[in-house]
Amino acid sequence: LRLGVMASGEGSNFEALVNAARAGGLAAEMALLVVNNRGCGAQVRAERLGVPCRLLDHREQPSREALDRALIEAFRQAAVDLVVMAGWMRIVTPTLIQAFPDRLVNIHPSLLPSFRGMDAVGQALAAGVKLSGCTVHLVSEAVDAGRILVQAAVPVLPGDSHAQLAARIRRQEHRILPLGVRLAARDLDRALGVEGQ
């Protein structure tokens, strides 16, 4: 199974996926990373890890749909079967979601359905919750909705700063994203009727 990843920032989730795939934890290979910010951490990590990386700068695309069409073309050329949004900071359009039905996976830093959208960590702190966490889910047309694949919970400790809670969640993200991708890939194989490919 060939994986494509989309990232906009540091890329620590991308690297966790590469490590899981190379350790044999995923019956999948990392085919292509696409970033939208030149020189972002994910791009630097891809170069260090030897993963092909394409820059599709959203600032150079006339619309969200145009960016998504460019993403689809890049992943088609790399024969990607499953796409993972690992810190992709742009809203994707139905164009992309429909091109990858049940084949687009996202990681979100809260226990969905709580705290959808931007700054889920800040939302959790503001709400004063005692537990937060992260969610791996299939992407559907509503933002941060779609079938939940895996979740992990972390305590929110008294006096937690945004950075401290984000880091505690991030450690769990690196653990559950590979699990979620494995589940999505297994469901894909079952749907395609090719067990244990």
Q: Among residues 12 and 74, whose Cβ is nearest to ligand GRF?
A: 12
Q: Among residues 179 and 189, whose Cβ is nearest to ligand GRF?
A: 179
Residue nearest to ligand GRF (CB): 87
Q: Among residues 162 and 190, whose Cβ is nearest to ligand GRF?
A: 162
Work out how close the CB of 168 gets to ligand GRF at its nearest, in angstroms, rounded to a whole number.
Answer: 11
Q: Among residues 70 and 152, whose Cβ is nearest to ligand GRF?
A: 152
Work out how close the CB of 10 gets to ligand GRF at its nearest, in angstroms, rounded to a whole number.
Answer: 4
- Per CB under 6 A, residues contacting ligand GRF are 7, 9-14, 86-87, 107-109, 134, 170, 173
Q: Which of 180, 139, 196 has the alpha carbon at shortest distance from 20?
A: 180
Work out how close the CB of 191 gets to ligand GRF at its nearest, in angstroms, rounded to a whole number.
Answer: 26
- Per the annotation, the verdict on 58 as an active-site residue is no
Residues 145-178, buried b or exposed e (16+ Cβ, 10 A)? ebeebbbbebebeeebeeeebbebbbebbbebbb
Q: Among residues 80 and 107, whose Cβ is nearest to ligand GRF?
A: 107
On whether the CB atoms of residues 36 and 44 are closer than 8 A, the answer is no
Work out how close the CB of 43 gets to ligand GRF at its nearest, in angstroms, rounded to a whole number.
Answer: 11
- Indicate which residue of 58, 108, 137, 174 is catalytic: 108
Work out how close the CB of 166 gets to ligand GRF at its nearest, in angstroms, rounded to a whole number.
Answer: 7
Which positions are annotated as active-site residues?
108
